[in-house]
Amino acid sequence: MKDKIIGRELEIRLLQEYLHSEKSEFIAIYGRRRVGKTFLVRQTIGENACFTLTGMENSGLQEQLANFYFALRKVYPKANHPQSWLEAFDELENYLETCSETKKIIFIDELPWLDTVRSNFIGALEHFWNAWASARDDVKLIVCGSATSWMIDNIINNRGGLHNRKTHQIYVAPFTLHESEQYFKTFGFSFRQKEIAECYMTMGGVAYYYSLMRPDESVAQNIDRLFFASNGELKGEFENLYRSLYKQAGDHIAIVTALATKTKGLTRKEILQQTDLNNNQKFTKTLDELEKCGFIRQYVPFGKTKRDVLYQLMDAFTLFHFHFANENAYQDETFWINSLNSPRYRAWSGYAFEVLCLNHITQIKQALGIAGVQSRVCSWLAKSDDGGNGAQIDLLIDRADQTINVCEMKFSRAEYEITRTDADDFDNKLETFIRQTNTRKSLMLTLITSFGVKKNKYSGQVQKQITLADLFELPKS
């Protein structure tokens, strides 16, 4: 990755604040693979760490302990080779006692990989913090890991010896559109906002994926080179991503495979039917892990109860995999360029743009002028009845000020021109919604498009417009 940090102003400010506090701090940093967690920490702490350690993937206890010993020996030649994690942390204590630094910064990266079977790593870490580090005022322990669900279960929500011992947590999310634009401008790309949006719709705002792009290639050329060339650097990234996050990723992949087929999402029962998974606690935990990692969200559709909760795919990279990267049957190295005018591209871009919008709800509310209004985001689906046809609304913003924004999301290469078919469809959705929900709230038809709505005899039907430019705005604090 290039050696300049982009965005992350809040994360950097918080981390610096914790590092300069007058007490010992236990800071947990988490987020998905390749999002820039390690880069953030290293850029913030610089050369000031007393000790750094990176866990080894797919390695046993003795290999991990040897790795620890080699890392400690570089800064503490007197170190002994530990035979257990209790001994390892005792050696670390001995070293830190000799350090003259005012703030003793310890950075342990890829922490989940250290927790091997029957290693008692968590128990030793708990003892190190509770019995020694927390009693001081100069220890800054930073732990980091890509296995988000492990970090949340074992560190952030630990119910054992670390319960309420972690002093701070920082979630490192994928880039927003605003941060994506910052990145591309900083490193000499001439991409326009629509092209940056297409990068986001393909790669989900993951910093490392962006770092593999070349400014002398178009977006389409970059995508073909990274995903569809015979040696494409992101060709197998989907499997690597899920396998790195979850030790047994088969069920997780089965669930996102099912969710990739439905824009509005699926109920628990529908997911079970499509995946043939068992309806048990393991299934519940798998859904929870996917949600914690930001791959899916759950929400209650308008007019429904918690029993009708839907699970919806929220990860653009995963969606792209199923629509394109997983469908290149003939190993076409220019599959993306050859697909740009295809029905497949149009279907994907419509769905991917909806995912983009759902991930920028804060910006949408800001553009609507309702950032401070209490609201909930959901969808609505109605079957046909005696009064007319069925209808589906993929984005509703149900507001406490007795108004509902009925949002239509349209990704296009120019101003969106509303056709007679569109106008009839909008009318049917609004009429069906009023009839079947008996709502007394005001409905406001809102179009979210790439470049706005072209003025014609149907455009007056739209009461609010939001464009890509609005989604690129930095949220106001």
pLDDT tens, position by position, 80-94:
999 999 999 999 999
Q: Output the six-digit token pair for 202.
A: 């393909």
Q: What are phi and psi of 408, to 5 degrees?
A: -110, 130
Instruction: Tell me if 66 sits within 8 A of 193, measured CB to CB.
Output: no
Instruction: Tell me if 356 sits within 8 A of 200, measured CB to CB.
Output: yes
Check whether 387 has a pLDDT greater than 70.
no
Q: How sure is the predictor about 386, in pLDDT bands with cuts at 50, 70 and 90?
A: low
Q: Give CA–CA dist 444/140, Å, rounded.
A: 51
Residue 207 identity: A
Mean pLDDT in residue range 244-262: 91
SS3 123: helix
**Residue 1 confidence (pLDDT):** 45
How many degrees, rounded to 5, is the angle at CA 373 between CA 368 and CA 378?
75
Least confident of 86-95, 152-161, 301-310, 316-325: 152-161
Check whether 388 has a pLDDT greater than 70.
no
Does the pTM surpass 0.95? The reply is no
SS3 356: helix
Q: Output the six-digit token pair for 165.
A: 């011992």
**Residue 2 confidence (pLDDT):** 57
**For 146-171, what is each residue's pLDDT tens digit?**
888 888 888 988 877 776 677 899 99
What lies within 8 Å, CB to CB, of 256 at 6+ separation is 290, 295, 296, 313, 315, 318
**For 105-144, what is each residue's pLDDT tens digit?**
999 999 999 999 999 999 999 999 999 999 999 999 999 9
Percent of the chain exceeding pLDDT 70 equals 98
Q: Give CA–CA dist 439/55, Å, rounded.
A: 55
Q: Give CA–CA dist 293/76, Å, rounded.
A: 37
What lies within 8 Å, CB to CB, of 37 at 6+ separation is 29, 30, 31, 144, 146, 172
Q: Supply the DSSP symbol for 447.
A: E
**For 330-353, what is each residue's pLDDT tens digit?**
788 999 999 999 999 999 999 999
Instruction: Tell me if 43 sits within 8 A of 98, measured CB to CB.
Output: no
The residue behind tokens 């970059």 is: 222
